[in-house]
């Protein structure tokens, strides 16, 4: 046996006997995904403390034409918060969602986000403008404080945001449900929907909710959304705006949120509160259909409102 062969055999034996170090497990993803339907990919992102089930009727409506990827974010509605591990909420979810689009090889998927989900959609689209398709934001905006106070900025909002973050951190699960119910009553019209949404709070992590609220209030994405290259449809909730003057002011406030987006449209859901997909689903679906069917990729005129 030649010396070279002996050396080769010896090396092979050493390799066989050496311990195999397993590859490190990938970090947990900051959301859970359920996939339904077929067609062009559509990512549906729920809001604060919500389950992906908030999109159930919408998925039923679109699943024959779109492959719906329905998210539930970490820390909400029974999903563990370990994926965040003290990291910034928006940065972590946005990074993981961008990676998901790449791993799944999704070609410019439609992003549909409600409330916090809309905020996430804007962040991902601004950071990865070539990776996403049209965006539908359902009462979710790039900078929430300015929707109520046009003069608001992130620095001025920081103190109140910190108080809310710290307040959420003190809540027990039972207290989080009570707090959620108090807020949800003004966000949807049907009491049964209030109960349904509040039930998700019982299995949510209050600290994660506080962190998400803090970041929404102290992160101004309005300059960043100028990088978005895809059409944007922003649907605002306007059930409380009972007269034309109030609706005009509200429309202007939403318009200011996306003014930097080159291709955008703002539509008010006049018969819906914050949970538009529950209060007036037909309006939401018609408006989305018109927007997504535009042959040149630009937002089309919204569907007629009720009674008009």
In a domain, 242, yes or no: yes
| Four-point Cα dihedral 63, 65, 66, 72, nearest 10 | -20
How many H helices and E strands in the chain? 12, 7
Confidence (pLDDT) at 22: 52
The helix or strand, by DSSP H or E, that contains position 265, with its residue range, turns out to be strand 264-269
In a domain, 183, yes or no: no
In a domain, 41, yes or no: yes
Domain count, the chain: 1
Kindly report the CA angle at 133 between 128 and 136, in degrees rounded to 5? 105
Per DSSP, what are the bridge partners of residue 137?
113, 234
Show the domain range for 281.
31-150+220-292
In a domain, 168, yes or no: no
Residue whose token pair is 């994926």: 83
* DSSP-derived 3-state class of residue 111: strand
- Start-to-end C-alpha separation, the chain: 94
Contact 142, 224 (CB under 8 A): yes
Confidence (pLDDT) at 27: 57
| Four-point Cα dihedral 232, 237, 241, 247, nearest 10 | 0
Confidence (pLDDT) at 21: 55
In a domain, 209, yes or no: no
* DSSP-derived 3-state class of residue 304: coil
Contact 264, 299 (CB under 8 A): yes
In a domain, 274, yes or no: yes
Task: Kindly list the averaged pLDDT for each block of 10 residues, start to end, along the chain of length 308.
Answer: 38 44 62 97 98 98 97 97 89 96 96 98 97 97 94 93 96 96 96 96 96 97 97 96 94 97 96 98 97 64 44
- CATH code of residue 233: 3.40.50.1820
Confidence (pLDDT) at 301: 46
Confidence (pLDDT) at 295: 47
């Amino acid at each position: 046996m030649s010396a070279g062969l002996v050396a080769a055999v010896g090396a092979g034996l050493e390799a066989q006997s050496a311990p195999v170090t397993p590859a490190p497990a990938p970090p947990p993803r900051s959301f859970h995904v359920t996939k339904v339907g077929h067609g062009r990919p559509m990512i549906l992102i729920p809001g604060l403390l919500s389950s992906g089930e908030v999109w159930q009727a919408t998925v039923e409506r679109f699943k024959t034409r779109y492959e719906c990827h329905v998210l539930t974010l970490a820390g909400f509605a029974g999903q563990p918060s370990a994926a965040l591990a003290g990291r910034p909420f928006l940065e972590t979810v946005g990074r993981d969602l961008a990676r998901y689009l790449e791993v799944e090889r999704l070609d410019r998927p439609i992003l549909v986000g409600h409330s916090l989900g809309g905020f996430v959609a804007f962040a991902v689209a601004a950071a990865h403008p070539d990776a996403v398709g049209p965006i539908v934001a359902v009462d979710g905006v790039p900078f929430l404080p300015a929707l109520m106070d046009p003069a608001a900025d992130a620095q001025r909002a920081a103190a109140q945001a910190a108080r809310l973050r710290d307040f959420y951190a003190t809540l027990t699960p039972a207290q989080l449900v009570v707090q959620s119910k108090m807020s949800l009553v003004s966000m949807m019209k049907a009491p049964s929907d209030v109960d349904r949404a509040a039930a998700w709070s019982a299995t949510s992590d209050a600290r994660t909710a506080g962190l998400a609220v803090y970041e929404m209030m102290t992160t101004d994405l309005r300059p960043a959304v100028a990088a978005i290259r895809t059409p944007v449809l922003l649907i605002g909730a306007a059930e409380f705006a009972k007269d034309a003057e109030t609706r005009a002011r509200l429309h202007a406030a939403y318009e200011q949120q996306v003014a930097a987006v080159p291709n955008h449209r703002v539509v008010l859901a006049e018969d819906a509160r914050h949970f538009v997909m529950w209060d007036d689903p037909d309006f939401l679906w018609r408006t989305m259909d018109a927007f997504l069917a535009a042959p040149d990729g630009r937002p089309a005129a919204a569907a007629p409102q009720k009674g008009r």
